[in-house]
Structure formats: structure tokens, C-alpha cells
Amino acid sequence: MSAAVAVRTIAAEPYPFPFDPAACALLVIDMQRDFLEPGGFGAALGNDVALLRRTIAPNVRLLAAWRAAGLAVFHTREGHAPDLSDLPPAKLARARGAPRIGDPGPMGRILIRGEAGHAIIPELAPLPGEPVIDKPGKGAFWATDLQTQLAARGIRQLVVTGVTTEVCVNTTVREANDRGYDCLVPSDCVGSYFPEFQEMGLKMIKAQGGIFGWVSESKHLLAALQ
């Protein structure tokens, strides 16, 4: 981690974010083939993956700058064990309509660890040494050791990117907020299959004086990292 990068403020809503690079991790949520690629789980449910794919280039740029600055990077993947032992029956049952988690799909069994569709897209592939948190839920903290890993690195702030804005990104931001982390969400680096949920998912984070955190754009982070 680079100690040379000093604390500075980032333009954000509802007010500037006090960015402390040495204590801030980039947390890239579920940029997996099943959600982003044509032929994956998301596309099979009838969603337009282009709405998510627009986040790839901004995430690539932010990740490169983050790595170049020597700051902490964490990745997450949503998925389940091949025997579905960590899949709550309610989660399986509520996904009405085909296909369901564990069913065969065009990129292997859907949302099963080790299958092709479960992998992070190649554009954002983790580097050796970057933790990859495998999570069975929507939030990155539930049933994972993310909090332990963040504490070990002295992390108190999170820049949260990835998909989808209103589901796994929002759930993770809320979990993080309750655990005392300051979260910044760059709007161009998060995506939803539903434009109205993209808008409202971001508004919910920054409303009421930043009830869950801050919303900004990656260009402001890139400027601060230079």
C-alpha cells in the first residue's frame, strides 16, 4: 500500500468525500460473465446486458489507476457450491421462471463456483494477491470473511463499483455502512438492468445527508489518484 498518497477530498454528493487512500479499498462487486455477457444468467432472464457492459471501460480505467497507486483491491463473486449446500431454499424458489441457480446454462451451471459463467469478466480479471470474496448472498459481508480481511489491512473506506446497482451494490453499501465504513459509489462504474433502479439506487445512497454514503464519478477519483 502506498503511504505517499495523502488524504484529499473528492467531489461527490451530498458533499465532498474525505478520501484517505491508505485506508480505502476498491471493492468491485460481481463483475461476472453470468451477469454481463450475452448468453449468461442475466441475459437468459431477458435483460439487456448492454446496460451493465457500459460499466466495463470505467471500471478498467479505475482499477488500473488504483493498482498503479498501490492501493487495496477486493473483488467479489456471487455464487454457490456445486451441491447447492449454501443456497437457501428461498433464494432458489423465488427465482421463478427458467433458468434457476444450478441449472445448466450456456456458460455452465448458473452461478455455481468453478463454472465459466461464474468467473469475473476477463477485462477485470483479478491479479494474483488481490482477494476474491466468494459470497452466497447479495451483500459482500454476509457469510464471508470480508470484514476480517478489511480490518487486517486497516481499511475504513470503500469505493464500491460493479453490478447491479440496486441489488448487490446497494446491499453491500448498506452492510458496510452499518459496520462503520465510509462508502463512495462512482455512478459510471455501477450498472442496473433497469434504468429507473440505477437512478433510484444511487439517490437512495446519497439522500438524507448521505444516509448510506457518497455518490461521485470515476473521473474525480482518477484525478485524485494522479
Active-site positions? Answer: 30, 135, 168
Among 164, 198, 216, 218, indicate the residue that binds ligand TIU (CB under 6 A).
164
Restricted to residues 75-134, the positions that interact with ligand TIU (CB under 6 A) are: 78
Q: Burial of 194 by CB count in 10 Å (0-12 exposed, 13-18 middle, 19+ buried)?
A: middle
Interacting span for ligand TIU (CB under 6 A) from 5-13, 112-120, 139-147, 159-167: 159-167
**111 in helix, strand or coil?**
coil
From the list 215, 214, 217, the residue with the least C-alpha distance to 55 is 217
CB of 78 to ligand TIU, least distance (A): 5
Beta carbons within 8 Å of 90's beta carbon, 6+ residues apart:
none
Closest to ligand TIU by CB, 89 vs 180, is 89
Closest to ligand TIU by CB, 1 vs 194, is 194
**Cis amide prior to 164 (ω within 30 degrees):** yes
Closest to ligand TIU by CB, 187 vs 225, is 187
Main-chain dihedrals φ then ψ at residue 20, nearest 5 degrees: -115, 90
Q: Does 167 bind ligand TIU (CB under 6 A)?
A: yes
> Which residues on adjacent β-strands are paired with residue 146?
none
CB of 186 to ligand TIU, least distance (A): 17
Closest to ligand TIU by CB, 14 vs 126, is 126
Restricted to residues 16-45, the positions that interact with ligand TIU (CB under 6 A) are: 30, 35
> x/- contact string, 49-78, with ligand TIU (CB under 6 A)?
-----------------------------x
> Which residues on adjacent β-strands are paired with residue 13?
215
Q: Does 170 bind ligand TIU (CB under 6 A)?
A: no
Strand-strand pairing, 214-216 and 182-186: parallel
CA angle 30, 35, 40 (to 5 degrees): 140
Residues engaged in binding ligand TIU (CB under 6 A): 30, 35, 78, 138, 163-164, 167-168
